[in-house]
Amino acid sequence: MTEQRRELGPLVPDELWRRDFPYTSAGEEQVTRRDFTRYLAAASCAFAAGTVGVAAYAAARDTHDGEPKEIVALAEVAEGTSHLFRYPTPRDPAILLHLPGGELRAYSQKCTHLGCVVFWEEGAEDLLCPCHEGHFDLRTGEPVAGPPDRPLPGIELEVRDGRVWALRMTT
Ligand code: FES
């Protein structure tokens, strides 16, 4: 027995930690592997459950097509101008376009690139997203220039007694 070992006192054969952890050094590797597998399985299950929850929440939000809602009197939106409103929920910015020639179009105002707000400058040939110079066709909402690669979600419209109504989201 070394000098240092003598200072620490005699080995206790039934130490408390040995009762709580009754494995020999030969079995430690197995225990570690078993624990690791258990933690891995628990973490995988938690991750999978979280992913399913987030996907379900996103799907529930995206399926909100909207209900008929009066937007504005047509006489208040001159040809060649736009009118901003909220649709299908009060959190969703949208834009109504009264195109030269009388056609009406409405789209979500959220750019399909990273969600900035698009607008129509009077006389411009297309809708503009100022964040990264994204451009969208006025008549179809299709991207025509810049980073966006998906069209703006459209809104079906109807004119009833001189007032413009949004009926539902179309895309
Ligand atoms: S957010 Fe509209 S172009 Fe990037």
- Contact between 120 and 82 under an 8 Å Cβ cutoff? The reply is yes
User: What DSSP string describes 14-46?
Assistant: T-HHHHHS---HHHHHHHHHHHHHHHHHHHHHH
Predicted pLDDT at 40: 86
Beta bridge partners of 97: 82, 105
- 91 phi/psi in degrees, rounded to 5: -90, -5
Bond before 88 cis per omega within 30 degrees:
yes
- 136 phi/psi in degrees, rounded to 5: -130, 140
Q: Between residues 8 and 167, which one has the greater pLDDT?
A: 167
Q: 69-169 — its CATH code?
A: 2.102.10.10
Site to probe by mutation for ligand 1, drawn from 109, 114, 119 as the one with most ligand atoms within 8 Å of Cβ, is 114
Local confidence band at 1 (pLDDT 50, 70, 90 cut-offs): very low
What whole-number distance in Å separates Cα of residue 142 and Cα of residue 39? 48
- Contact between 145 and 152 under an 8 Å Cβ cutoff? The reply is no
pLDDT at 37 over 70: yes
Local confidence band at 66 (pLDDT 50, 70, 90 cut-offs): confident
What whole-number distance in Å separates Cα of residue 6 and Cα of residue 8? 5
Local confidence band at 159 (pLDDT 50, 70, 90 cut-offs): very high
For residue 112, the CA-to-ligand 1 centroid distance in Å is 7
Q: How many CB atoms lie within 10 A of CB 157?
A: 17
Give me 137's structure tokens.
Answer: 């066709």
Q: What is the pLDDT of residues 115-152, one digit of tens each?
A: 999 999 888 999 999 999 999 999 999 999 999 999 99
Predicted pLDDT at 60: 61
Q: Between residues 87 and 59, which one has the greater pLDDT?
A: 87
Residues with CB under 6 A from ligand 1: 111, 113-114, 116, 129, 131-132, 134, 146-148
pLDDT at 43 over 60: yes
Strands (E), 80-125: 81-86, 93-98, 104-108
> Nearest CA to 102 among 33, 159, 29, 32?
159
For residue 137, the CA-to-ligand 1 centroid distance in Å is 15
